Amino acid sequence: MIRLIAFSFALFVIFCSCLEPSNSLSAQSTSSLVYMNGGSLTYAPFAMKDQTNAVNVIPDFSHAGYKKGGVPLPDVPVQFTLTPTAGDNRAAIQAAIDQVEAMTPDANGFRGAVLLKKGIYEVNGSLTIEASGVVLRGEGQGDNGTVLNASLAQKHDFILVQGTGSGINEDTLTTVDITTAYVPVGTTNFNVSSASGFTVGDLVSVKRTPNQTWIDALAMGQYGWTPSGYVVKNERTITAINGNTITVDLPIVDVIEDQYGGGTLSKASVPGRISNCGVENLRIKSYYASDTDENHVWIAVKLIRTTDSWVKGVTAQYCGYSCVSIHSESNFNTIEECAMKDQKSQITGGRRYSFNITDGLGNLFQRCYTSDGRHDFVTGSRVAGPNVFLDSYATNTYSDVGPHHRWATGLLFDNVRAGQIRVQNRGASGTGHGWAGAQTMFWNLKSYKSDIKVASPKGARNWGIGCEGSTQNGDGFWEHWNSPVLPRSLYLQQLEDRLGTTAVANITIPEQLTGDIYSMLADWAGDGPLVDTSTNKLRIVATEDAFVRGGTYAGDNYGQSSTLTVKVNSNADYIRESFLKFDLSAINQVVGKATLRLRVTNDDAGPTHVVRFVSDDSWSESTITWNNKPSTGASLGSAVSPPIGEWFEIDITSQVQTELAGDDLISLNIHEITNNQFVQYGSTEHADSTYWPEIEIIYANISELTTTDDAFVRGGTYAGDNYGTNSSLVVKGHNTDSYRRESYLKFDLSGITETVTNATLRLKVNNDDAGPTHALRFVSDDSWSESTITWNNKPATGTSLGSATSPAIGEWFEVDITAQVQTELSGDGVISLNLHETSNNNYVSYHSNNAADSDNFPRLVLTTIPQAANRIASAESSETALRDVLKNEDRPEKSPILYSYPNPFQHLTNIVFTLEDPEPVNLLVYDLRGRLVNTLLSESLAAGSHRVNWNGTDSRGRRSPAGIYLLRLKTANRQVVEKVMLLE
């Protein structure tokens, strides 16, 4: 059986099945305007409404998103960490942001992140980020994550990421006329009267200057439209100049034609705009006095004059207007996995615009959820794109999704699920909305229980392709009503065509590629992470690092050096060692693997470096010298230093797990064992943060397997008897064959797709003599069956896997069999074991898989970590599957809420959880090595709130060591993990 699938191959399979039709899908619908041909999209030219010149093409929307699309959101190192305090936390959070803003950006433009640890923070007022390279980060958007309680009882915007200034400044001295009589939609080039004043790389304003003829053709004068009011500056960058032909980076999304006023080109600037900012992983919960109260948070996160930035994993609750709203020349931002829910305001105009673009281009909203909104995915007046809303879900809607008013252009709504979905002439609505949008693409949208309307204005075009709804309205361009088309996502296919499959992998999750995202979003609803973080990696950057030097330099400190130097030499003046310290307190799950990583900046050829543990964490990078350096302890491993730019890596999992039970700090020493070999690694003072020392944590998953077969066999006169239906597994040694018993167990490992880091066999005692020692042996022959095995036909036993003393009745006998499980996973996926007695005449019986209570069954407890890819999705996709997803509105039950108090605790903690439905529940305690400490609960419970106590003891009633433990609440379909600290 093949278990290891390379991520690139998995993506290849997914793309083949989802973005291109296979033979089995060859009959699925495709658009006549843009369709798959030879592995990429082909575009057919078309004419605008009431025109005959077929020279326009569907524009390329793929530049939307962080850094123009296809770039993964960065993991910016933490500079300040805060925990919640009683009272108003606003000043403390703002002060931390201000301190990071005062720092010097690294080579990538990042200053650092402010981390708000899990908990509830009262914040009475707004928070602002006003400098580039600053991130505000929490530890989760669920109720048990980082919750910012916005307590100010007046209408205000809560988190503002804002630059300075306004508008696109044109250099009027460079202004030239666009001389191409008709600049079509989708093109990136046009002619000007003179290109002599421009160079490649110039930021320019491509300005459309409509005349009264255009206003009259659309009949918009009756709504107060004027030519000067609809002059639109399209921000672009010149990529090529050929004579007087200018080529720009982004396609034109609104026709520029002489009969309607033409346009101009000017050099431009947008002073004061900031970049590389982020808001991540937190919940903003607003105060409100009533369901219609409006004196509270209006916009949760507002981007103003911000580019190449992101908002990820933010849930806005009880707000009045938006979760995220984009304003004032804010371009190329990604908004993903955000949710707007439980909105509080009047339900009328100017309210509940859940995800909104008032101004800006190249913005991508994806994997977002909203409920109870009016205009959930929406744009304002004269918003010139391209902009994209992708794979998002709106429920319980009060109005329509789409461009809202006054000629927004270049919009793609791609695989959005909502109520009403409309692009239309809104006439006198509001204060004269008129035509809401042009060049708006509705691609594979679904409106549940409502209509989709697509109308087109003269000289422009709106499209509805592959859409589903109760009613089809409007005279726009329609294709394949109630029949989704290929490719599934226009944006993702355009991105793949432009940048390749890696770009798509950088920004998606597999559920998008397979079309399974909508029921996932409905189930999620902004409560906790959209993707289970138990399989994610955590990057921990060193808090202190420095090298020390011997000889005449032994009293010097090098804590501010941008490198960590390691060298050994017979001359003491040339000896250097490096020290590092890491804060592990951000780790809140079982550690499957921990790797120290140092990136080489300068080296000799291939020296071997050793990493040693340092028990003394009191040293500081600002004071450490050769003379006062702490002593080093056990070696944690060694490796050959790689070439410049690559990573030196050592597995330090065991030591990290040990330190997590202590003070959450780990110090390390790096030294050289090859004479006169010199290497430098980047330190945390290095200008490029990608060179900073780090520990990479891969969180583990814990699962349990029960036996497929188990039985004991008996010798002597019973040698032909089978005991496979017995409720016990008996083990006894004796000098008389008839009294001898051995037990056999078999486990099916074929369902394990992750890397096993620990495997423990556990058998529960139901009767015993005092303290016999039992030995476990591997059995290579898996053909035996519990229904036929006897002493006479039992398979031969092989290698000893270990032994242990059998504990008291009701406790668990445990043997670590990690190595053998790892070996069997590369074989037939089945493991058989033999348990026998090494002490004469000692008798023990364990529960078998026929025991009355399944909680007593033999089990194999596995700690696993993901393969090289964190998430590998099934590549199965078909027209039928896609249709099933489109029609599935079921919402599975939400995860139960779990918390404990007091936490930390010394004698007793109360563990409280809530169930939405009656169901079986297991509440388990694990240590950070993934070992089961205690089972606190295992029974079926009614819906509602429940409380269980833990006094810090293990399953034998013994006091557990002080440290961090994990509470795992597991139901039939869900599990929640909470970190708890036991004090001395």
Return the half-sphere exposure (C-beta side, CA atoms, 13 A cut-off) of residue 32.
7
CATH of the domain at 774: 2.60.120
Shared domain check, 763 and 680: no
Let me know how many helices (H) and strands (E) the chain has, helices first: 10, 70
The whole-angstrom separation of Cα 284 and Cα 156 is 13
Shared domain check, 974 and 909: yes
pTM: predicted TM-score of the whole model, two decimal places: 0.60
Confidence of residue 890 (pLDDT cuts 50, 70, 90): very low
- Which residue among 242, 269, 296 closes a domain? 269
Q: Which two tokens stand for residue 255?
A: 């026709």
pLDDT digit string (tens) for 49-65? 999 999 999 999 999 99
pLDDT digit string (tens) for 258-285? 999 999 999 999 999 999 999 999 999 9
Average pLDDT over residues 747-772: 85
Shared domain check, 679 and 599: yes
- Residue-number span of the structural domain to which 845 is assigned: 708-857
Least confident window among 532-546, 571-585, 699-713: 532-546
Q: What is the pLDDT of residue 974?
A: 67
Q: What is the pLDDT of residue 2?
A: 22
Confidence of residue 532 (pLDDT cuts 50, 70, 90): low
233 has pLDDT over 90: yes
Angle at the Cα of 364 from the Cα atoms of 358 and 366, rounded to 5 degrees:
115
Shared domain check, 715 and 853: yes
The sign one gets for the Cα dihedral 560, 562, 566, 568 is negative
Least confident window among 237-251, 284-298, 520-534, 710-724: 520-534
Asked if residue 948 belongs to a domain, the reply is: yes
The whole-angstrom separation of Cα 398 and Cα 343 is 12
The whole-angstrom separation of Cα 433 and Cα 451 is 20
pLDDT digit string (tens) for 427-486? 998 889 999 999 999 999 999 878 999 999 999 999 999 999 999 999 999 999 999 999
Shared domain check, 677 and 713: no
Q: What is the pLDDT of residue 642?
A: 86
Asked if residue 691 belongs to a domain, the reply is: no
Q: What is the pLDDT of residue 885?
A: 27
Q: What is the pLDDT of residue 956?
A: 76
Decide: 654 and 574 in contact? Cβ < 8 Å.
no
> Percentage of residues in the chain with pLDDT exceeding 70?
91
The whole-angstrom separation of Cα 895 and Cα 420 is 30
pLDDT digit string (tens) for 282-339? 999 999 999 999 999 999 999 999 999 999 999 999 999 999 999 999 999 999 999 9
Shared domain check, 613 and 548: yes
How many domains are contained in the chain? 4
Confidence of residue 821 (pLDDT cuts 50, 70, 90): very high
Confidence of residue 250 (pLDDT cuts 50, 70, 90): very high
Average pLDDT over residues 38-43: 91
Shared domain check, 805 and 731: yes
pLDDT digit string (tens) for 788-812? 999 999 999 998 999 888 888 988 9
Mean of the per-residue pLDDT values of the chain: 88
Q: Which residue do the tokens 């597999």 mark? A: 510
Residue with the bigger pLDDT between 590 and 174: it is 174
CATH of the domain at 615: 2.60.120.260
pLDDT digit string (tens) for 347-367? 999 999 999 999 999 999 999
Asked if residue 547 belongs to a domain, the reply is: yes
Q: What is the pLDDT of residue 867?
A: 60
Shared domain check, 789 and 739: yes
Q: What is the pLDDT of residue 312?
A: 98
Average pLDDT over residues 632-651: 89
pLDDT digit string (tens) for 120-177? 999 999 999 999 999 999 999 998 899 999 999 999 999 999 999 999 999 999 999 9
| Long-range contacts, 876-880 (Cβ 8 Å, 24+) | 876/17, 876/514, 877/14, 877/17, 877/18, 877/514, 877/515, 878/17, 878/24, 878/25, 879/24, 879/25, 879/27, 879/28
- Which residue among 798, 832, 857 closes a domain? 857
Least confident window among 171-175, 264-268, 488-492, 585-589: 585-589
Asked if residue 725 belongs to a domain, the reply is: yes
Decide: 774 and 856 in contact? Cβ < 8 Å.
no
Alpha carbon separation from 842 to 244, 701, 769, 836, 856 (Å, rounded): 97, 37, 6, 11, 22
Return the amino acid letter for 8.
Answer: S
Residue with the bigger pLDDT between 620 and 963: it is 620
Residue with the bigger pLDDT between 376 and 975: it is 376
Least confident window among 108-117, 676-685, 767-776: 767-776
Q: What is the pLDDT of residue 883?
A: 29
Average pLDDT over residues 546-569: 94
Decide: 482 and 52 in contact? Cβ < 8 Å.
no
Q: Tell which residue, 654, 620, 606, 660, has the closest CA to residue 634.
A: 654
Asked if residue 60 belongs to a domain, the reply is: no
The whole-angstrom separation of Cα 432 and Cα 407 is 12
Shared domain check, 676 and 579: yes
Percentages helix, strand, coil for the chain, rounded to the nearest 5? 10, 40, 45
Return the amino acid letter for 261.
Answer: G
The whole-angstrom separation of Cα 636 and Cα 630 is 17
Shared domain check, 664 and 736: no
CATH of the domain at 243: 2.40.30
CATH of the domain at 975: 2.60.40.4070
Decide: 377 and 392 in contact? Cβ < 8 Å.
yes
Asked if residue 908 belongs to a domain, the reply is: yes
Q: Tell which residue, 468, 333, 388, 309, has the closest CA to residue 59.
A: 388
886 has pLDDT over 60: no
Confidence of residue 368 (pLDDT cuts 50, 70, 90): very high
Asked if residue 913 belongs to a domain, the reply is: yes
Average pLDDT over residues 554-571: 92
Q: Which two tokens stand for residue 658?
A: 């040990």
The whole-angstrom separation of Cα 407 and Cα 379 is 10
Confidence of residue 236 (pLDDT cuts 50, 70, 90): very high
Decide: 613 and 633 in contact? Cβ < 8 Å.
yes
Q: At what angle do helices 879-887 and 517-524 cross, to 10 degrees?
A: 30
973 has pLDDT over 80: no
Q: What is the pLDDT of residue 855?
A: 84
Radius of gyration of the chain (CA): 32
Q: What is the pLDDT of residue 39?
A: 82
Shared domain check, 637 and 550: yes
Q: Which residue do the tokens 């896997």 mark? A: 801
Q: Is 353 exposed, middle or buried (0-12, 13-18, 19+ CB in 10 A)?
A: buried
Least confident window among 216-230, 454-468, 552-566, 918-932: 918-932
pLDDT digit string (tens) for 59-102? 999 999 999 999 999 999 999 999 999 999 999 999 999 999 99
- Which residue among 217, 249, 269 closes a domain? 269
Q: Tell which residue, 349, 295, 298, 289, has the closest CA to residue 319.
A: 298
Shared domain check, 791 and 758: yes
